């Protein structure tokens, strides 16, 4: 007997008899289901309920068929129902935390789509009903969509405007553009670094050389720290996104908010670390006596400009690469039409491994790039 789905006829006499035997009859679950199976010891031999063939008089107990207790847990094992899906009357979501009103279950469990269809026609009575249009949740969702963009603007102000303080004193945007163009033309190439990535450096970065001929060493643990910080930022971003998003929003709304908050939080956290590394590089250069070179000391050759541009292009590539892979990984099962939960999880894990490998290379490159730019005094 599964006490999760059952139909009972109230009886005070029966209730009192049950209560008198609660302490004497065993319960294999420690709760109501185990007790009921002990109380109705012959239940397994009961007739299967068939509404088209009623019995007179009705038996004391009847078993419900799969049509009236379709266990989603059993569906996930076979990736199909044992009966015609159109004939189902009751679907029982038994998978612990994977309940249909939580937005993320729609991306893991196929039968949740049935609940989502029914949900559209329900009136607002409980959180998540009424088509997912809970007034409180709607306000929260609007705020959650807008807030990350405000956070990005604040982060951009902190990293760009404060680094380029002269921007605040510009009378016009054209004046700033002329100055930026002049700086770009007079800027010397970044010091080259060839060993970025686990395969080539094993977290060991080569010495950096300034145009004056001086060498500034990066710590041997520099790459390892960058990778660890990157993964910590990613985990914090995921956890924070799950915490702030209401559980009962619609699946697509939840997924879009998840991407938005994860990306923005990671961008701000890891971007803050890169800003710290930039200042670290600037401090190490000044401490060694090789501060930022004036524009008069820099070379203006096209080759140097090309190297600088290549470095910035590579950094942008790594940022875009991480965003692209982290977007494709969770969506790939849906795009490929995979419905089996174990196949979905396997594909997501494979995508996660690819993303982790890429993040390892990307975090080292971005950190080294920030450190070298700090040495050179570039924003």
- When mean pLDDT is compared across 41-50, 124-133, 287-296, the lowest value belongs to 287-296
The answer to whether residue 97 scores a pLDDT higher than 80 is no
For residues 230 and 303, which has the higher predicted lDDT (pLDDT)? 230
In the predicted model, what is the mean pLDDT of residues 146-171? 63
In sequence order, the 6+-apart residues with CB closer than 8 A to the CB of 297 are 188, 211
- When mean pLDDT is compared across 19-33, 66-80, 175-189, 342-356, the lowest value belongs to 175-189
In the predicted model, what is the mean pLDDT of residues 217-225? 79
The answer to whether residue 209 scores a pLDDT higher than 50 is no
Digit-coded pLDDT (tens) for 292-321: 444 434 444 444 444 445 556 677 777 788
In the predicted model, what is the mean pLDDT of residues 153-170? 55
Query: In whole angstroms, what is the distance from residue 245 CA to residue 259 CA?
Result: 11
The answer to whether residue 77 scores a pLDDT higher than 50 is yes
The model's pTM:
0.69
Distances (CA, A) of 253 to 23, 54, 246, 310: 49, 46, 10, 38
CB 103 within 8 A of CB 250: yes
For residues 139 and 269, which has the higher predicted lDDT (pLDDT)? 269
Mean pLDDT of the chain: 76
For residues 58 and 241, which has the higher predicted lDDT (pLDDT)? 241
The answer to whether residue 172 scores a pLDDT higher than 50 is no
Q: What is the pLDDT of residue 128?
A: 59
In total, the chain counts a number of residues equal to 379
The answer to whether residue 199 scores a pLDDT higher than 50 is no
In the predicted model, what is the mean pLDDT of residues 125-149? 74
CB 240 within 8 A of CB 378: no
For residues 135 and 79, which has the higher predicted lDDT (pLDDT)? 79
Q: Give the chain as a 3 state SS string.
A: CCCCCCCCCCCHHHHHHHHHHCCCCCCCCCCHHHHHHHHCCCHHHCCECCCCCCCCCCCCCCECCHHHCEEHHHHHHHCCCCCCHHHCCCEECCCCCCCCCCHHHHHCCCCHHHHHHHHCCCCCCCCCCCCCCCHHHHHHHHHHHHHHHHHHHHHHHHHHHCCCHHHHHCCCHHHHHHHHHHHHHHCCCCCCCCCCCHHHHCCCCCCEECCCCCEECCCCCHHHHHHHHHHHHHHHHHHHHHHHCCCCCCHHHHHHHHHHHHHHHHHHHHHHHHHHHHHHHHHHHHHCCCCCCCHHHCCCCHHHHHHHHHHHHHHHHHHHHHHHHHHHHHHHHHHHCCCCHHHHHHHHHHHHHHHHHHHHHHHHHHHHHHHHHHHHCCC
- Rounded to 5 degrees, φ, ψ at 125 are -130, -35
Q: What is the pLDDT of residue 198?
A: 37
For residues 192 and 63, which has the higher predicted lDDT (pLDDT)? 63
For residue 23, what are its two tokens? 């302490």
Domain coordinates of the chain in residue numbers?
137-180+218-288+310-377
């Amino acid at each position: 007997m599964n006490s999760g789905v059952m139909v009972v006829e109230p009886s005070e006499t029966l209730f009192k008899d049950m209560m008198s035997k609660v302490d004497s009859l065993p319960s294999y679950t420690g709760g109501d289901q185990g007790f009921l199976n002990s109380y109705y010891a012959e239940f397994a031999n009961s007739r299967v309920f068939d509404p088209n063939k009623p019995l007179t008089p009705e038996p004391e107990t009847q078993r419900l068929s799969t049509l009236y207790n379709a266990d989603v847990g059993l569906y996930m094992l076979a990736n199909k129902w044992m009966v015609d899906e159109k004939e189902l009357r009751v679907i029982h979501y038994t998978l612990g935390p994977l309940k249909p009103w939580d937005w993320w279950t729609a991306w893991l469990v196929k039968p949740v789509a049935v609940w989502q269809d029914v949900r559209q026609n329900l009136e607002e009575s409980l959180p998540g009903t009424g088509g997912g249009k809970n007034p409180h949740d709607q306000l929260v969702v609007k705020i959650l969509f807008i807030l990350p963009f405000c956070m990005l603007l604040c982060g951009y102000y902190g990293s760009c405007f404060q680094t380029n303080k002269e921007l605040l004193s510009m009378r016009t945007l054209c004046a700033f553009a002329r100055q930026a163009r002049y700086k770009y033309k007079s800027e010397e190439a970044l010091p080259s670094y060839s060993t970025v990535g686990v395969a080539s450096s094993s977290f060991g970065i080569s010495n950096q050389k300034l145009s004056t001929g001086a060498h500034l060493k990066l710590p041997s643990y520099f790459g390892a720290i960058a990778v660890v910080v990157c993964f910590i930022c990613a985990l914090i971003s995921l956890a924070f996104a799950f915490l702030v998003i209401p559980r009962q929003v619609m699946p697509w709304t939840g997924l879009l908010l998840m991407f938005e908050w994860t990306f923005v939080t990671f961008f701000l956290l890891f971007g803050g670390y890169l800003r710290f590394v930039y200042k670290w590089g600037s401090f190490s250069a000044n401490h060694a006596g090789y501060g930022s070179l004036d524009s008069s000391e820099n070379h203006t050759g096209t080759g140097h400009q090309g190297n600088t541009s290549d470095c910035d292009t590579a950094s942008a590539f790594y940022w875009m690469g991480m965003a692209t892979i982290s977007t494709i990984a969770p969506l790939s099962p849906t795009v490929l039409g995979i419905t089996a939960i174990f196949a979905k999880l396997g594909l997501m894990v494979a995508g996660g491994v690819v993303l982790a490998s890429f993040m390892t290379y990307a975090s080292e490159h971005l950190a080294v790039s920030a450190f070298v730019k700090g040495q050179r005094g570039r924003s």
